[in-house]
Amino acid sequence: MASAIRKEGVSSGRVDMDTAQANFSDLHPSYDAHEALVAADRCYFCHDAPCITACPTSIDIPLFIRQIATGTPEAAAETILEQNILGGMCARVCPTETLCEEACVREAAEGKPVEIGRLQRHATDTLMSKDIHPFQRKSLTGRKIAVVGAGPSGLACAHRLAMHGHDVVIFEARSKGGGLNEFGIAAYKTTNDFAQRELDWLLQIGGIEIRYGHALGNSITLEQLRADYDAVFLGMGLAGVNALSLEGEDKENVEDAVAFIAELRQAQDVTALPVGRRVVIIGGGMTAIDAAVQSKLLGAEEVTVVYRRAQDAMPASGYEQDLAQKKGVRIVCNAAPVGIEGNGSLTGVTFAYTETVDGKLVTTDDTFTLPADQLFKAIGQTLAGAPADVVLEGGKIAVDGLGQTSVKGVWAGGDCASGGDDLTVTAVAEGRDAAENIHATLMGA
Amino acid sequence: MADLTTTFCGITSPNPFWLASAPPTDKEYNVRRAFDAGWGGAVWKTLGMEGPPVVNVNGPRYGAIWGADRRLLGLNNIELITDRPLQVNLDEMTRVKRDYPDRALVASVMVPCEEAAWKEILPRIAETGCDGFELNFGCPHGMAERGMGSAVGQVPEYIEMVTRWCKEATGLPVIVKLTPNVTNILGPAQAAKDGGADAVSLINTINSITSVNLDDMSPEPMIDGKGTHGGYCGPAVKPIALNMVAEIARNPGTLGLPISGIGGITTWRDAAEFMALGAGNVQVCTAAMTYGFKVVQELISGLEQWMDEKGHSAVSDIVGRAVPNVTDWQYLNLNHVTKARIDQDLCIKCGRCFAACEDTSHQAISMSPDRVFEVKDDECVACNLCVNVCPVENCITMETLQPGHIDERTGKVVEEHAADWTTHPNNPSAAAAE
Ligand SMILES: Cc1cc2nc3c(=O)[nH]c(=O)nc-3n(C[C@H](O)[C@H](O)[C@H](O)COP(=O)(O)OP(=O)(O)OC[C@H]3O[C@@H](n4cnc5c(N)ncnc54)[C@H](O)[C@@H]3O)c2cc1C
Ligand SMILES: Cc1cc2nc3c(=O)[nH]c(=O)nc-3n(C[C@H](O)[C@H](O)[C@H](O)COP(=O)(O)O)c2cc1C
Ligand code: SF4
Ligand code: SF4
Ligand code: SF4
């Protein structure tokens, strides 16, 4: 395939099917039963464990690990899922190195934390492989709640509401549920159509209807929802993307990284997906890293991530950066794009080195040009289509500690809402907590 | 370099490590390879009466307890004595002893509790050239139901009687192997001595059920839906064996009776501990069954290194060294006051010490919101539990309060002189303190 790899321009088929399959296989394969016992035995069952505090959904980690160690992974799964209904996905995608595993006392002691994420996956996979849904609905309340968006926050909110006996209708703009679990997360973190399997499993609770192809702002309005439902939860994520504001941004092969990733996630055959020989990614977060790694896995020869600040300021975790570098991605820091090159088609991107002056990032006159036949923008997503009457804060829907927006009867959570990191697990926590507050509000009244 | 040559009740072997009577010593093929690997001696798998051989079960005969990575911690068996014809064993023993004259070869024997039976078989076995006998009064299953093994070992009068018969029947050393399935090991040990035994060896296996099959509701190992108690051995039994050895070593009546220490010996350190508590040599079974004969190389190199480091040149230098320090509770110094000390640099903030102390009636460890754990001297009773639950070695240590210091828990000044329960004012039968 050497010739395919060196083919100029943006082209498909740079790797053969076998290579593609190997490249996009599970990043952290699941434990076998004995490995899980050995890994579980490393947990000290800490008192008031710091890992629990570090988990945004506060899973009782020492308890579930002990349940694995004593041969009851199904009970362990229940411990996980009662706090985090998407515990299966979180086990695959959480940056554990900056969450629970960073706080694990064994990380402090020996730089080798208990592998909480993989243990969590072992438990949830065991339960889900038996197709057991361990929760039941309480007696029906007759209340109806509208949820906007079938991403992690919307699903967590809907499930908790359904458990409390409420009926839920989810309005989802796309034709498929799961949000970024389905369209965003790197392919090698969630293999075998896991996002859809988890969604189907979650819906077994009953009482949740998803209406696909219904976008708030198009076919429905917030007024309508408020009138027809007892409460509304907004979990619409960040549907917009930031622009570079450079001339030439409309050139062919200058693309949004999230769109590229979504296309990849939906591809039946990834080898059919075109990718450049020389790919440049602008950004420093998880999206930039994922786009870079997956370009490399598709067979791009040279892949460079360019970030405007120093490496230690990169939002992507050290683990993610290492992963990218191991896959052959080059990371260039302290450089910002100043020009998109090429008469007609894209030939390169020009960057200026940056400096911090009086706490402000400025570009210097020192520039360089990276040859490129494909450029991905990964400089952040933005809120799009938020209802006009809700108050925003820093570009997101303002919410209080209970998830309530400025509009009575309307809650919000996940990426679209203020506060918290933009992570799957945070979205789940916020959706769940908003559901609890909706429930308290509806039933207390 | 330390010399490991050991003479135990008149039997000399190049090192103190003997294989205990069990499957590893059941045939020539095994014992030859064991001697090639370096074992100092072997007690042949227990021989029984001439006649139709013993029958073993044809289903599983072992049960086990494991650590998380399937490290074998305890083993239980329902095997009987040798199931091979007596003459085959005797011929093999003869050849082995002929080819390995420097190694100890001891014959383990178990025949019915009749004088003629013992007096007939010992001289016949002696013809193999073996160095001595070990009387198996220990086997807790199968043979005991037929009035042998531990059925004899649990009745001191029988032990004394059979031992005396054997001493009358042979001039070779007679070692009596004791069963731990008794309430007080001193009775059987005394009986062996009174019967004229040259030594005792202990422990044989402990009556046990290792686990229950919760699907089929039967003890393991399960044979056609049923199980029975078996004999427990391996690392888990070491503490019980150590105590029994120490009791015999320090008891005035049995003082000086040579002891062959057995039970859970897996490393050189285990062996050194048995010998420090009075064992003149040691026997090993489960460790060899688990890891093979090669473990003896580590036993030898470890014991040698430790003896060199401590300046002991002969095995006899270490035997019984710790015995004078084994005492009764009532003689422990109540004026010796210690307090737990947490090394904050080593602490990884797991909070186990807190949970243990908090829920174990002392509440002597405090926990701050930022997870700093500290010992409250005014509550610490010095129980040492925190030290044992802390996952970091040497993170918590016990500091001895020097005389003159105040124990904040009791408010009393730590005294220089030792004082124990026998003179304590709360003891109704205290001897008046001088
Ligand atoms: C490329 C990429 C990789 C990532 N990798 C990770 C990772 O490895 N680990 C991690 O923890 N996090 C990761 N994240 C972040 C994580 O995916 C998000 O934080 C999480 O999905 C947020 O959930 P959400 O429910 O708030 O929003 P989303 O997942 O974005 O879901 C929002 C849903 O609402 C729908 N919607 C939007 N607008 C409307 C509307 N007007 N009407 C109706 N429906 C609407 C959308 O179609 C979507 O289904 C990644 C993000 C990206 C972009
Ligand atoms: C399978 C098995 C069979 C045994 N058979 C005998 C035996 O025939 N005679 C005997 O005196 N002891 C027998 N024992 C007991 C051992 O000799 C030894 O006393 C006991 O296992 C404790 O030592 P260990 O912890 O090193 O195994 C047997 C032990 C096992 C495991
Ligand atoms: S911090 Fe680590 S060792 Fe402690 S309970 Fe959590 S996972 Fe277990
Ligand atoms: S020694 Fe015992 S009482 Fe003292 S702090 Fe430790 S656990 Fe508590
Ligand atoms: S058990 Fe040890 S490591 Fe854990 S908090 Fe206590 S002193 Fe620190």
> Is the same domain home to B136 and B223?
yes
Q: For A105, which of B67, B69, B349 is closest by C-beta distance?
A: B349
Q: Is A48 on the interface with B (CB under 8 A)?
A: yes
> In terms of Cα–Cα distance, which of A90, A194, A98, A182 is closest to A427?
A90
**Integer Cα distance of A436 and A163 in angstroms:** 10
The residues of B carrying an active-site annotation are 139
Average pLDDT over residues B319-348: 97
Residue B311 lies in a domain: yes
Whether residue B211 is found in the same domain as residue B70? yes
The domains of chain A, with CATH numbers, are: 6-22+243-377 (3.50.50.60), 42-129 (1.10.1060.10), 144-239+383-444 (3.50.50.60)
Query: Quick check: A105 and B69 CB within 8 A?
Result: no
Instruction: Tell me the one-letter amino acid at A429.
Output: A
CA–centroid distance, residue B127 to ligand 2 (Å): 25
Chain B residues 51-70 with a CB less than 8 Å from chain A: 67-70
What pLDDT is recorded for position B138? 76
- What does the H/E/C string look like for chain A? CHHHHHCCCEECCCCCHHHHHHHCCCCCCCCCHHHHHHHHHCCCCCCCCHHHHHCCCCCCHHHHHHHHHCCCHHHHHHHHHCCCCCHHHHHHHCCHHHCHHHHCHHHHHHCCCCCHHHHHHHHHHHHHHCCCCCCCCCCCCCCEEEEECCCHHHHHHHHHHHHCCCEEEEEECCCCCCCHHHHCCCHHHCCCCHHHHHHHHHHCCCCEEEEECCCECCCECHHHHHHHCCEEEECCCCCEECCCCCCCCCCCCEEEHHHHHHHHHHCCCHHHCCEECEEEEECCCHHHHHHHHHHHHCCCCEEEEECCCCHHHCCCCHHHHHHHHHCCCEEECCEEEEEEECCCCCCEEEEEEEEEECCEEEEEEEEEEEECCEEEECCCEECCCCCCCCCEECCEECCCCCCECCCCCEEECHHHECCCCCCHHHHHHHHHHHHHHHHHHHHHC
Task: Report pLDDT digits (tens) over B243-255.
Answer: 999 999 999 999 9
Q: How many CA atoms lie within 13 A of B263 on its CB side?
A: 30
Inside any domain, residue B115: yes
Q: Tens of pLDDT along A434-443?
A: 999 999 999 9
d(CA A251, CA B104): 90
The residue among B325, B354, B369 that closes a domain is B325
Distance B339 CA to ligand 4 centre (A): 8
Cβ under 8 Å to B: A residues 333-372: none
Q: Which residues of B touch A38 (CB under 8 A)?
A: 68-69
Sort strands B230-233 and B206-208 into parallel, antiparallel or unpaired: antiparallel
Indicate if B61 and B209 belong to the same structural domain: yes
Whether A424 and A179 have beta carbons less than 8 Å apart is answered as no
| pLDDT digit string, tens, across residues B402-427 | 999 999 999 999 999 999 999 999 99
Cβ–ligand 5 contact at B348 (below 6 Å) = yes
Ligand 5 geometric centre to CA of A33 (Å)? 30
> Among B265, B291, B325, which residue terminates a domain?
B325
Amino acid making up residue B160: E
Query: B369 and B272: one domain?
Result: no
Spell out which residues of chain B touch residue A103, defining contact as CB-CB under 8 Å.
none
Task: Classify residue A220 by burial, with Cβ atoms within 10 Å: 0-12, 13-18, 19+.
Answer: middle
Interface test with A, best of B347, B350, B365, B389 (most A CBs within 10 A): B350
Residue that has been written with the tokens 């600040």 in this structure: A309
What pLDDT was estimated at residue B240?
98
Indicate whether B429 belongs to any domain: no
* CA of residue B381 to ligand 4 center, whole Å: 6
Report strand pairing: B396-400 vs B338-342. antiparallel
Secondary structure of chain B as H, E, C letters:
CCECCEEECCEEECCCEEECCCHHHCCHHHHHHHHHHCCCEEEEEEECCCCCCCCCCCCCCEEEEECCCCCEEEEEECCCCCCCCHHHHHHHHHHHHHHCCCCEEEEEECCCCCHHHHHHHHHHHHCCCCCEEEEECCCCCCCHHHCCCHHHHCCHHHHHHHHHHHHHHCCCCEEEECCCCCCCCHHHHHHHHHCCCCEEEECCCEEECCEEECCCCEEECCECCECCCEEEECHHHHHHHHHHHHHHHHCCCCCCCCEEEECCCCCHHHHHHHHHCCEEEEEECHHHHHHCCCHHHHHHHHHHHHHHHHCCCEHHHCCCCCHHHCCCHHHCCCCCCEEEEECCCCCCCCCHHHHHHHCCCCCCEEECCCCCEEECCCCCCCCCHHHHHCCCCCCEEEEECCCCCEECCCCEECCCCCCCHHHCCCCCCCCCCC
Please report the pLDDT score of residue A1 as a whole number: 47
- What is the pLDDT averaged over residues B169-182? 97
- pLDDT band, residue B433 (cuts 50/70/90): very low
Show the tokens assigned to B35.
């001697």
B189 contacts B254 by C-beta, under 8 angstroms? yes
Domain that holds residue B255: 6-325
Residue keyed to tokens 């064993």: B89
Predicted confidence at residue B58, as pLDDT, reads 86
Are the C-beta atoms of residues A221 and A387 closer than 8 Å to each other? Answer: yes
Chain-centre distance for alpha carbon A71? 31
Best CA proximity match to A68, nearest among A132, A133, A115, A129: A115
CA B108 – CA B125 distance, rounded (Å): 10
**B73 close to A (CB below 8 A):** no
Residues from chain A that touch B70, judged by Cβ atoms under 8 A, are 34
Ligand 5 center from residue A70 Cα (angstroms) = 24
A427 in contact with chain B, both atoms CB, cutoff 8 A: no
If you measure from the C-alpha of residue A279 to the centroid of ligand 2, how many angstroms do you get, rounded to a whole number?
70
Q: Considering B325, B350, B365, which residue would you say is the last residue of a domain?
A: B325
**Is the peptide bond prior to B23 cis by the omega test (within 30 degrees of 0)?**
no
pLDDT at residue A344, as a whole number: 86
Q: Residue A8 has what pLDDT? A: 87
Contact A34 B352 (CB under 8 A): no
Which is higher by pLDDT, A320 or B434? Answer: A320
Q: Does A100 touch chain B (CB under 8 A)?
A: no
How far apart are alpha carbons A126 and A109 in whole angstroms? Answer: 30
The first and second tokens of residue B351, run together, are 């909070």
Number of domains in chain B: 2
Q: How far apart are CA B95 and CA B101, in angstroms?
A: 10
Within a domain: B124: yes
Residue B25 falls within a domain, yes or no?
A: yes
> Does residue B233 lie in a domain region?
yes
Put simply, the answer to whether B348 touches A108 (Cβ < 8 Å) is yes
- What's the ipTM? 0.80
CATH code of the domain in which B412 resides? 3.30.70.20
State if residue B357 touches ligand 5 by the CB under 6 angstroms criterion: no
Contact B351 A49 (CB under 8 A): yes
Residues B76 and B64 in one domain: yes
CB distance B348–A109 less than 8 Å?
yes
One domain, residues B309 and B404: no
Indicate whether B264 belongs to any domain.
yes
Q: Residue A208, preceding bond cis, omega within 30 degrees?
A: no
- Kindly give the parts of chain A with pLDDT less than 70: 1-2, 445
- Look up residue B286 and give its amino acid: T
Question: Could you tell me the pLDDT band of residue B139, with boundaries at 50, 70 and 90?
Answer: low
Q: What is the mean pLDDT of chain A?
A: 95
Q: What is the mean pLDDT of chain B?
A: 95
Tokens of A86: 């998407």
Residue A445: what pLDDT?
A: 60
B345 lies within 8 A of chain A by CB: no
Q: Does residue B352 line the site of ligand 5, with CB under 6 A?
A: yes
> Could you tell me which residues come within 8 angstroms of residue B390 by beta carbon, excluding any fewer than 6 positions away?
B350, B352, B353, B396
User: CB of B372 within 8 Å of any CB in chain A?
Assistant: no
Contacts of B67 in chain A (CB under 8 A): 41
Rounded to an integer, the average pLDDT of B308-334 is 97
B352 touches A at CB < 8 Å: yes
Give the tens place of pLDDT for each residue, B195-206.
Answer: 999 999 999 999
Do A306 and A285 form a contact (C-beta atoms < 8 A)? no
CATH number at residue B43: 3.20.20.70
Q: What's residue A177's pLDDT?
A: 97
- Asked if residue B270 and residue B393 are part of one domain, the reply reads no
* pLDDT computed for residue B57 by the predictor: 87
Please indicate if any CB of chain B lies within 8 Å of the CB of A47. yes
Its sign, for the CA torsion A159, A161, A163, A167, is negative
Q: What is the pLDDT of residue A43?
A: 96
Query: Is B31 among the domain residues?
Result: yes
Same structural domain, B54 and B156: yes
- Between CA B215 and CA B422 the distance in angstroms is 54
Q: What is the Cβ-side half-sphere exposure of residue A307, based on CA atoms within 13 angstroms?
A: 23
* List of residues 6+ apart from A192 with CB closer than 8 A: none
Q: Are residues B63 and B156 in the same domain?
A: yes
Q: Do residue B12 and residue B134 come from a single domain?
A: yes
Identify which of B341, B372, B392 to mutate to test ligand 5's pocket (most ligand atoms within 8 A of the CB): B392
Question: Looking at chain A, how many residues does it have?
Answer: 445
Confidence bin at B148 (pLDDT 50/70/90): confident
Contact assignment for B70 to A34 by CB distance below 8 Å: yes
| Together in a domain, B128 and B194 | yes
Residues B45 and B146 in one domain: yes
- For A:106-165, CB contacts with B below 8 A are 106, 108-109
